[in-house]
Amino acid sequence: MVHNLSDSDSIIGNYLAELRDVQIQKDPMRFRANMERIAEIMAYEISKKLKYKAVDVETPLGVAPSKVLDEKPVLITILRAGLAMHSGFLRYFDRAESAYVSAYRKHTTPEEFEIYVEYLAAPVLDNRIWIISDPMLASGNSMNTVFDALKEQGIPKKIYIAAAIATKEAIERVTKHFPGNTEIFVAVIDKELTAQSYIVPGLGDAGELAFGEKV
């Protein structure tokens, strides 16, 4: 199931517009802040899908029946571009455990490349709820490669994928590769993917805009 948060108008449109704006992009702190805001909105939307349990909370004047999260999800991010979104998710799921995956492209030709997972640090993943965040879901190949690495450490009970910008091609590829208990949340779906796997109109390189150029 795919949830496109741009299907209805909301404040997320403001944050997307600023992420794309070539002038506002010159401020990396604002770029990171907008990415975090989008992640926070997605975290709230995903939280509606989770299970809750009833508890009684003691207040200074009595006891309040309340509903709290029944199970902590594992927040998984793809380094380094995903760190800003990860921060946004941590603000909402503040007791969640985190997993970090380093994936990179190795070009064989200017237009062809393979994805490699270089590093993975994670808590227990088996039978857990996974929330995987990555700002750009372009071709879907990175997400699929990361999933293949993660499932070697455990099989999830539920998966939520969160991306700021995605393409239809990536969503189709990820949907075919991931298990049926996966839901995808995106802020917007762009129309074009170039031969070099860049999204158009997109926003450029999210990692470099947030954290600086790589050398």
- Domains, the chain, ranges and CATH? 2-211 (3.40.50.2020)
Q: Please, which pLDDT band fits residue 205 given cuts at 50, 70 and 90? A: confident
Which DSSP category does 31 fall into? Answer: H
Residue 203 · residue 181 · CB < 8 Å: no
Rg of the Cα atoms in the chain: 18
User: Across residues 136-161, what is the average pLDDT?
Assistant: 92
Q: What pLDDT is stored for residue 142 in this prediction? A: 87
3-state DSSP assignment of residue 201:
coil
Q: In whole numbers, what is the pLDDT of the chain averaged over residues?
A: 90
User: Is the whole-model pTM more than 0.85?
Assistant: yes
User: Across residues 160-185, what is the average pLDDT?
Assistant: 95
User: Across residues 46-59, what is the average pLDDT?
Assistant: 97
Q: How far apart are CA 1 and CA 171, in angstroms?
A: 10
Q: Please, which pLDDT band fits residue 110 given cuts at 50, 70 and 90? A: low
Alpha helices (H) in 75-203, listed in sequence order? 83-92, 141-150, 168-177
Whether 113 has a pLDDT exceeding 60, the answer reads no
Q: Please, which pLDDT band fits residue 215 given cuts at 50, 70 and 90? A: low
User: Across residues 4-16, what is the average pLDDT?
Assistant: 95
Q: In this predicted model, which residue has the larger pLDDT, 88 or 193? A: 88
Whether 106 has a pLDDT exceeding 70, the answer reads no
**Percentage of residues in the chain having pLDDT higher than 90:** 73
Whole-angstrom CA distances from 4 to 9, 13, 135 are: 11, 12, 14
Length of the chain: 215
